[in-house]
Amino acid sequence: MRLICLPILLFAAGAIYAQQPSIASRLGYPDNARLLIIHADDLGMAHSENQASIIGLENSPVNSASIMVPCPWFPEIAAYARSNKQADLGLHLTLNSEWKHYKWGPVSSRDAVASLLNKQGYFYATVDSTVQKAKPGEVELELRNQVKKAYEAGIDVTHLDAHMRAALSTPEFIAAYMRVGKEFGLPLLLPRRVLEYDHPEINALFDENTVLMDGIHTVVPEDYRKGPEKYYDSLMKNLPPGLHSLQIHLAYDNDEMQAITVDHPDWGASWRQADFDYFTSDAFRQLLEAEDIILVTYRELRDKISRAE
Amino acid sequence: MRLICLPILLFAAGAIYAQQPSIASRLGYPDNARLLIIHADDLGMAHSENQASIIGLENSPVNSASIMVPCPWFPEIAAYARSNKQADLGLHLTLNSEWKHYKWGPVSSRDAVASLLNKQGYFYATVDSTVQKAKPGEVELELRNQVKKAYEAGIDVTHLDAHMRAALSTPEFIAAYMRVGKEFGLPLLLPRRVLEYDHPEINALFDENTVLMDGIHTVVPEDYRKGPEKYYDSLMKNLPPGLHSLQIHLAYDNDEMQAITVDHPDWGASWRQADFDYFTSDAFRQLLEAEDIILVTYRELRDKISRAE
């Protein structure tokens, strides 16, 4: 019986989602609006990252950001969140510790999430190792514990996303990530292509509260080396209609950030300083206005879609 | 029977220790020699601390230091230790996470050392909380796991000491600390006054391999405010004969260290910069030579006393 019923259920889940009105219309915009979240990643990872991201949030079009709960500087950004309730701050759910000389581990008890950790008790440096070794149940436990710890720290969490996209790297991890989002009524950074996986666990989690991104954008090393401003300018000028998230990394090119990113120029200190300079520039603000791009926050998505009744 | 025997055993333990030749003579120096370890604390805690301490170890009379294994920058100083085998590096065994916005927790699985942790899963900020709440068995487990992790990282550990002296704050914690030291054949930062506790567990751990300090010195806020150089100059000029350890803290007064020590001027960023400036000065080197103070390392103490057969 199950084998016969399953495809019908899956089809039904996908179909239900496809029949929903567009995100744009549900937020009150025309269907063909170009909606954008300009989103700073990696808050909590370093003091330099916290300080530059706060400046970005307060003084530039950057309008959302996410926090790495397991990281050493989490308490600094949690204190900021408590006293700046308007800030659109979510969680950059973290399953990796990628830098050479500066490390973190889980918020869960290590024994409970042993499959996520290397011999030193840190998260694996690479997503590949996590994919090979992590048990989905332990991924889900750690993701849930990061959310709980953020709430206990007094953060009004607006969304969840996935550091290094680790939580988006297998269907089982995606299902864990979606279950945690649903449990707390939070929108996720979730690409539309997850519909194509046609995976029963994932399909069963879709409903009218699910938010899918039409585009998730970030500058990659090849584009960065050609000049990140070219990539960003072109993205703004050619952004298609729909809901988009642009993932950026704001920090200062200082001693701390240079030491953290040592031997890793991609996403390194000068890269993050370049992002800071671009997104806090007058030129970027003017471009955004000229292109008639509508900035939306995860708080709107959370309150109007993820928590709609 | 036990009640009658115990005082006799304790007396014997104390007496055996008292009858040992002096540390100075066992290292080959006159009994009245003034022996000093100039010891940088808190390595691994911050990049700024690591960099300033390495400069101190390589270019000044500072001749020993200790590493905080649970801290975020542990991998950086462990890499240094692996490629600088001559450096006299021990472990600053850590039971507290004292700063406001920058935190760390245990190397053990949290469930196994729950009595050492606050609700956020970090070590308590104050030693008082640790004393009130920590179970000695969990203290011992965490101390042992820090030593194991340091060996696994390839550090030739020369000694153990106690961050914020937490491991020296109750007789039960001292016994745990001494057991871990004995297990790995390592000298400890252990003040002579522990003999006066006359505590059975402690007394039973003394033997001919035990190293006791005749003086443990550090500048405290009252002295620091009068000018740390006065305190240090006077200490050097008036150092009594015996084995002494001077605990100092080397770091730069930069963004990272200012943010870590925010709202905590004592042992803060400018304090650590002042230590760095004093101990790397020519004036200090000249004073040390004029006073005929003999610098000794924990490696000598480890190899000639703690591991003597």
**How many C-beta atoms lie closer than 10 Å to residue A128's C-beta?**
12
pLDDT at A282 over 70: yes
A9 pLDDT higher than 60? no
Give CA angle at B261 (B256, B266), nearest 5°.
140
Two tokens, residue B235: 């200490």
Distance CA B27, CA B308 (A): 11
Chain A interface mutation, best of B77, B109, B262, B263, highest count of A Cβ atoms under 10 Å: B109
> Does residue B186 form part of some domain?
yes
Residue B136 CB burial class (10 angstroms; 0-12, 13-18, ≥19): middle
Q: What pLDDT, on a 0 to 100 scale, did the predictor assign at position B3? A: 39
Question: What's the pLDDT tens digit per position in A205-262?
Answer: 999 999 999 999 999 999 999 999 999 999 999 999 999 999 999 999 999 999 999 9
Asked if B102 lies within 8 A of A153 by C-beta distance, the reply is no
SS3 of A215, please?
Answer: strand
Residue A8: predicted pLDDT: 41
Q: What is the pLDDT of residue A20?
A: 76
Would you give the DSSP letter of residue A271? H
Q: Considering only alpha carbons, which residue of chain B is nearest residue A252?
A: B255
pLDDT grade, residue A21 (50/70/90)? confident
* Residue A1 scores a pLDDT above 90: no
Supply the pLDDT for residue A265.
87
Q: What is the pLDDT of residues B225-268, one digit of tens each?
A: 999 999 999 999 999 999 999 999 999 999 999 999 999 989 99
| B208 assigned to some structural domain | yes
Cα A127 to Cα A284: distance, rounded to the nearest angstrom:
32
Domain membership of residue B20 (yes or no) is no
> Which residues on neighbouring strands pair with residue A187, listed in sequence order?
none
Confidence at residue A13, expressed as pLDDT on a 0 to 100 scale: 55
Interfacial residues of B (vs A; Cβ cutoff 8 Å) = 47-48, 51, 72-76, 79, 100-104, 107-112, 119-121, 149, 152-153, 252, 254-256, 259-260
Nearest residue on chain B to A253, judged by CA atoms?
A: B255
The model's confidence at residue B14, banded by pLDDT at 50, 70 and 90, is low
Quick: pLDDT tens for A92-147.
999 999 999 999 999 999 999 999 999 999 999 999 999 999 999 999 999 999 99
What value does the mean pLDDT take over residues B204-219? Answer: 96
Angle B134-B137-B143 (CA atoms, 0-180°, nearest 5)?
85
Is the predicted pLDDT of residue B1 greater than 90, yes or no? no
Pairing of strands A215-217, B160-162: unpaired
Give B197 or A239, the one with higher predicted confidence: A239
Give the Å distances, CA to CA, from B275 to B90, B232, B261. 20, 10, 15
Q: Is residue B17 very low, low, confident or very high in pLDDT (cuts 50, 70, 90)?
A: low
pLDDT (tens digit, 9 = 90+) per residue, B90-147?
Answer: 999 999 999 999 999 999 999 999 999 999 999 999 999 999 999 999 999 999 999 9
| Closest Cα in chain B to A121 | B107
Contacts with B101 from chain A: Cβ below 8 Å: 73, 75-76, 79
Q: Is B246 a domain residue? A: yes
pTM > 0.80: yes
* Average pLDDT rounded to a whole number, residues B138-165: 98
Q: Write A1-8 long-range contacts (CB < 8 A, 24+).
A: A6/A200
Q: Is residue B23 in a domain?
A: no
Flag whether B65 is in a domain. yes
* Whether the predicted pLDDT of A5 surpasses 60: no
- Find the mean pLDDT for residues A263-292: 96
Domain, as residue range, for A247:
33-306
Round to whole Å and give the CA distance between B42 and A139: 33
Structural domains of chain A, count: 1
Determine the Cα–Cα distance for residues B298 and B89; give it in Å rounded to an integer.
8
SS3 A154: coil
- pLDDT score for A4: 38
Kindly list the residues from chain A whose CB atom is less than 8 angstroms away from the CB atom of residue B73.
101-102
- Tokens at A128, concatenated: 């590949």
What distance in Å separates the CA atoms of residue B35 and residue B27, rounded to the nearest whole number? 10
Buried b (16+ CB within 10 A) or exposed e, B79-110: bbbeeeeebbbbbbbbbbbbbebbbbbbbbbb
Q: pLDDT tens digits, residue range B49-85? A: 999 999 999 999 999 999 999 999 999 999 999 999 9
Residue B248: phi, psi to the nearest 5?
A: -125, 170
Q: Which of A47, A71, A94, A104 to mutate to test the interface with B (most CBs of B within 10 A)?
A: A47
Residue A23 in domain: no
Shortest CA distance from B79: residue in chain A: A101
pLDDT band at B15 (very low <50, low <70, confident <90, very high): low
Angle B160-B165-B169 (CA atoms, 0-180°, nearest 5)?
A: 115
Chain A residues touching residue B255 (CB < 8 angstroms): 47-48, 51, 254-256
Identify the CATH number of the domain in which residue B197 sits.
3.20.20.370
Is A7 contained in some domain?
Answer: no
The answer to whether residues B67 and B90 touch, using CB atoms and an 8 Å cutoff, is yes
Identify which of B72, B149, B252 has the shortest CB distance to residue A72. Answer: B72
- Per DSSP, the three-state class of A297 is coil
Cα(A51)–Cα(A142) distance, rounded to whole angstroms? 27
Q: Positive or negative, the Cα torsion across B132, B216, B85, B252?
A: positive
Residue A290 has pLDDT above 50, yes or no: yes
- Secondary structure of chain B as H, E, C letters: CHHHHHHHHHHHHHHHHHCCCCHHHHHCCCCCCEEEEEEEEEECCCHHHHHHHHHHHHHCCCCEEEECCCCCCHHHHHHHHHHCCCCCEEEEECCCCCCCCCCCCCCCCHHHHHHHECCCCCECCCHHHHHHHCCHHHHHHHHHHHHHHHHHCCCCCCCEEEHHHHHHCCHHHHHHHHHHHHHHCCCECCECCHHHHCCHHHHCCCCCCCCCECEEECCCHHHHHCCHHHHHHHHHHCCCCEEEEEEECCCCCCHHHHHHCCCCCCCCHHHHHHHHHHHCCHHHHHHHHHCCCEECCHHHHHHHHHCCC
Q: What is the pLDDT of residue B20?
A: 76
Inter-helix orientation angle B269-279/B47-59, to 10°: 10
Phi, psi of B213 (to 5 degrees): -90, 135
pLDDT at A7: 40
Least confident of A8-17, A59-68, A191-200: A8-17
Position A168, amino acid: L
Q: Which pLDDT value is given to residue A18?
A: 64
